Structure 1
Amino acid sequence: MAERLKRAYSPSEVEGLKRKKLEFSGEWGRVFGEPEMCGVWFVWGASGNGKTSFVMQLCKELARFGKVVYDSLEEGVSQSMVNTIKRHGMTDVNRRFTLLDGEKIEDLEKRMSRPRSAQFWVIDSFQYTGFNASQYLDFVERHSKKLIIFVSQADGNKPKGRTAEGAMYDATQKIHIKGFRAYNNGRSGEIGDYFTIYTEGARKYWGDQRKEVDNEESNELNN
Structure 2
Amino acid sequence: MARPKAVYAKNLYELKDKIKRFAFSGVFEIVMGQPTTTGMWIIYGNEKNGKTWFALKIADYLSQLANVLYVSAEEGIDGEFIEACERAKIPFNNRSLKFYEYTEIEVLDEMLSKKRAPKIVFIDNVTIYADELKNGVLRQFTQKHADKLFVFLAHEERKEPHGATAKLIKKLSKVIVRVQGLACFVSGRCPGGVLTIDEEKAQLFHGVETTSN
TM-score by length of 1: 0.84
Say whether 1:167 aligns with 2:165.
no
Deviations 1:165-197 (A, max 9, x none): 12111111111111112111211113xx11222
Matched with 1:188 is 190
Q: Give the Cα separation in 2 of the matches to 1:108 and 1:162.
A: 21
Matched with 1:106 is 106
- Whether the 8 Å CA contact 1:63–1:93 is kept in 2: the answer is no
Moved over 3 A (4+): 3-7
Deviations 1:75-97 (A, max 9, x none): 11111111112222323552101
Q: Give the Cα separation in 1 of the matches to 2:93 and 2:11.
A: 38
User: Which residue type is aligned with residue 53 of structure 2?
Assistant: S
Matched with 2:35 is 35
User: Which residue type is aligned with residue 147 of structure 2?
Assistant: K
The gaps in structure 1 that reach 5 residues or longer are 202-210
Matched with 1:48 is 48
The gaps in structure 2 that reach 5 residues or longer are 202-206
Matched positions, count: 204
- Whether the 8 Å CA contact 1:63–1:97 is kept in 2: the answer is yes
Matched with 2:204 is none
Matched with 1:85 is 85
User: What SS does the corresponding residue of 1:152 show, helix, strand or coil?
Assistant: strand
Deviations 1:15-46 (A, max 9, x none): 22111100111100000000011100011000
- Whether the 8 Å CA contact 2:45–2:179 is kept in 1: the answer is yes
Say whether 1:134 aligns with 2:121.
no
Q: Give the Cα separation in 2 of the matches to 1:105 and 1:84.
A: 25
Q: Specify which structure has the higher proportion of helix.
A: 1
| 1:7-22 → structure 2 map (5 Å cutoff) | 7-17=5-15, 18-22=18-22
Say whether 1:76 aligns with 2:76.
yes
Sequence identity (%): 25
Q: Give the Cα separation in 2 of the matches to 1:121 and 1:93.
A: 19
Distance apart, 1:159 and its partner CA:
0.5
Matched with 1:207 is none
Q: Give the Cα separation in 2 of the matches to 1:179 and 1:11.
A: 44
Matched with 1:65 is 65
Deviations 1:109-159 (A, max 9, x none): 111111121100000100111221511111111111100001001113101
- Whether the 8 Å CA contact 1:133–1:163 is kept in 2: the answer is no
User: Which residue type is aligned with residue 148 of structure 1?
Assistant: F
Q: Give the Cα separation in 2 of the matches to 1:46 and 1:40.
A: 20
Segment drifting more, 126-135 vs 32-41 = 126-135
Q: Give the Cα separation in 2 of the matches to 1:104 and 1:198.
A: 34
Q: Give the Cα separation in 2 of the matches to 1:170 and 1:94.
A: 30
Matched with 1:123 is 123
TM-score by length of 2: 0.88
User: What SS does the corresponding residue of 2:143 show, helix, strand or coil?
Assistant: helix
Structure with bigger gyration radius: 1
